[in-house]
Structure 1
Amino acid sequence: MKIVICGKGGSGKSTLTALLAAFLAEQNRGVLVVDADESNPGLYRLLGFESPPRTLMDLLGGKDSVREKLRRKIRNEGREEVNLFERERIFPGDIPGDFLRRWGSCLLVVVGKVARAREGCACPMGVVAREFLRRLETPPGEIVLVDTEAGVEHFGRGLETAVDGVLAVVEPSLESVVLAERIRDLAIGSGAHFLGVVLNRLTPEAEVILGEEVKRRGLPVLGRFGVRPEFTGASLRGERVPLSEEIRGELVHILQGIQGRILERAIRS
């Protein structure tokens, strides 16, 4: 099962990704985290790794090499098939060790990062992420979590077409709610499965107002997190996000909601 996690910048996408990954690994469930955010460098720290792996862009020869393959396809009006990856099907075991980080049953892969000024747009990284996810094969029961850049640009690259579901993180702001509504509409418009939203950084007052806003827009709520100083502290210190029994309970609720929504769609189709 492949899940892409979207939302406004600073809403808590990376934190939710790290929490879900840590909880699944704690349960000895296989989980592969795909860092598809070309800007935010800190996800590996929230997962407890001391350093990030080399990127998939490096594995493919670098951004210039990937860009040239894409240009060749454009010059031939799409008639020439451009295979960025040698394998049609990619298993986690096929990925060289330098391009992975492992903690228990949790694996981390990084697509690419903007490393220098004026290196051009991040579109090649989006294509690499989409093609990697399309080819990625995982054992039954393993979950793939994809942390994306802020906003909706990845929808223009078709990333959501390579996963089983789209999840949005919403913080207490109208901008975040409106963006989640747009994420839902874009996901549905592309044929992807919109799973729902996770509300984050809630105060008692914000929970009431935000709950009303997402309900009015027909956005299913799969989970809720209040303001958590321990999350902020872990992010500031660059440490693995901590799990309490309360947080574990909410993560179980979120995972059950995800599985239920996916099963519901499978039954309808």
Structure 2
Amino acid sequence: MGRLISIASGKGGTGKTTTTANLSIALGKMGYKVLAIDADLTMANLSLVMGIDDADVTLHDVLAGDAHIREAIYATSYENVFLVPGAVDWEHVLKADPRRLPSVIKPLKPEYDFVFIDCPAGLQMDAMNAMMSGEEVILVTNPEISCITDTMKVGIVLKKAGLAVLGFVLNRYGRSENDIPPEAAEEVMEVPLLVVVPEDPKVREATLEGVPVVEYAPDSEGAKAFFKLAEEISRIAGLKAKVIG
């Protein structure tokens, strides 16, 4: 049985989409069948990162009632990895009903080893509907106190809502002398630190090229961190859900 995992954060720009893409591809390389869903309905970027920018049918069409979810699933150029892209035009955003997200996404669980849901930041309605489409959650934060505390609040809300919080990714660590150290971040977050992704120019280069860093520069420090995250998620995903259940 597959795993439904939401990728969430308290603030925008923390690297949720980068994490979703790289984690999906890393797990695909490990032999898992993976579906990544761009559920950030107003800022859909996952398709651009994963190389599908001309989709005829998107998640927005599904949420507007104009298509079935299976019409919006595309094979990517990455082994074992599939994508449900979002639309980038405002007309589609206005028509999409985010309240339908859980009922659309949850039936896909048996068909994949992992379904990752790239969620909007914060706790607004569209973000909550996206996050509640999962059963487990990975939080993504940057090493700044405001970002960490906002993401911690999201984690608390999702725990109370019944999701299993697997832990958090400390992304872009080392770009400032004022970065919160990993140990301090873990103390504030009160959930396990899954991996520290260092500030790495190769990640930025990969983003500009439209290729996730685990494919673009697999020996870079950033890519190594995402491969480590994939190994950790393959080990623990599902365990906490079983305990909570």
What TM-score results when the alignment is normalised by the length of structure 2?
0.80
**How many angstroms apart in 2 are the aligned matches of 1:156 and 1:244?**
31
**How many angstroms apart in 2 are the aligned matches of 1:219 and 1:143?**
21
Question: Residues 49 and 207 of structure 2 are in contact (CA less than 8 Å); yes or no, is this contact kept in structure 1?
Answer: yes
Give per-residue Cα distances to partners, 1:45-89, cap 9 Å, x unaligned. Answer: 2213353452133246xx3x58xxxxxxxxxxxxxxxxx96xxxx
The corresponding residue for 2:23 is 20
**How many angstroms apart in 1 are the aligned matches of 2:242 and 2:30?**
26
For residues 180 and 217 of structure 1, do their structure 2 counterparts lie closer, same or farther at Cα, with a shift above 3 Å needed?
A: same
Q: Does 1:29 align with 2:32?
A: yes
Q: Which has the larger radius of gyration?
A: 1
Aligned-pair Cα RMSD in Å: 3.0
The corresponding residue for 1:55 is 58
Please identify, of 189-198 and 155-164, the stretch whose mean Cα deviation from structure 2 is larger: 155-164
Q: Does 1:2 align with 2:8?
A: no
Total equivalences in the alignment: 236
**How many angstroms apart in 1 are the aligned matches of 2:209 and 2:231?**
31
Q: How far 1:228 moved relative to its partner?
A: 1.4
Q: Does 1:222 align with 2:194?
A: yes
Superposed, 1:104-115 pairs within 5 Å as 104-113=79-88, 115=90
The secondary structure found in structure 1 opposite 2:57 is coil
Q: Does 1:233 align with 2:208?
A: no
Question: Residues 144 and 179 of structure 2 are in contact (CA less than 8 Å); yes or no, is this contact kept in structure 1?
Answer: no
Question: Residues 50 and 212 of structure 2 are in contact (CA less than 8 Å); yes or no, is this contact kept in structure 1?
Answer: yes
The corresponding residue for 2:133 is 162
Question: Residues 123 and 154 of structure 2 are in contact (CA less than 8 Å); yes or no, is this contact kept in structure 1?
Answer: yes
The secondary structure found in structure 2 opposite 1:136 is helix
Q: Does 1:138 align with 2:141?
A: no
Q: Does 1:175 align with 2:146?
A: yes
Question: Residues 31 and 106 of structure 1 are in contact (CA less than 8 Å); yes or no, is this contact kept in structure 2?
Answer: yes
What TM-score results when the alignment is normalised by the length of structure 1?
0.74
Q: Does 1:251 align with 2:226?
A: yes
Please identify, of 128-137 and 31-40, the stretch whose mean Cα deviation from structure 2 is larger: 128-137
Please identify, of 191-200 and 49-58, the stretch whose mean Cα deviation from structure 2 is larger: 49-58
For residues 156 and 239 of structure 1, do their structure 2 counterparts lie closer, same or farther at Cα, with a shift above 3 Å needed?
A: closer
For residues 120 and 264 of structure 1, do their structure 2 counterparts lie closer, same or farther at Cα, with a shift above 3 Å needed?
A: closer
Q: How far 1:177 moved relative to its partner?
A: 0.6
For residues 265 and 106 of structure 1, do their structure 2 counterparts lie closer, same or farther at Cα, with a shift above 3 Å needed?
A: closer
For residues 201 and 56 of structure 1, do their structure 2 counterparts lie closer, same or farther at Cα, with a shift above 3 Å needed?
A: closer
For residues 244 and 136 of structure 1, do their structure 2 counterparts lie closer, same or farther at Cα, with a shift above 3 Å needed?
A: same
Q: Does 1:266 align with 2:242?
A: yes
Instruction: Tell me which amino acid in the other structure corresponds to 2:238.
Output: I
**How many angstroms apart in 2 are the aligned matches of 1:217 and 1:20?**
21
Mark the runs of 5 or more structure 1 residues left unpaired by the alignment.
Answer: 67-83
Mark the runs of 5 or more structure 2 residues left unpaired by the alignment.
Answer: none
Within the candidate set 116, 122, 127, 2:99 is matched to 127
Q: How far 1:152 moved relative to its partner?
A: 2.1
Within the candidate set 185, 204, 227, 2:156 is matched to 185
Q: How far 1:163 moved relative to its partner?
A: 1.7
Q: How far 1:237 moved relative to its partner?
A: 3.8
Q: How far 1:3 moved relative to its partner?
A: 0.8
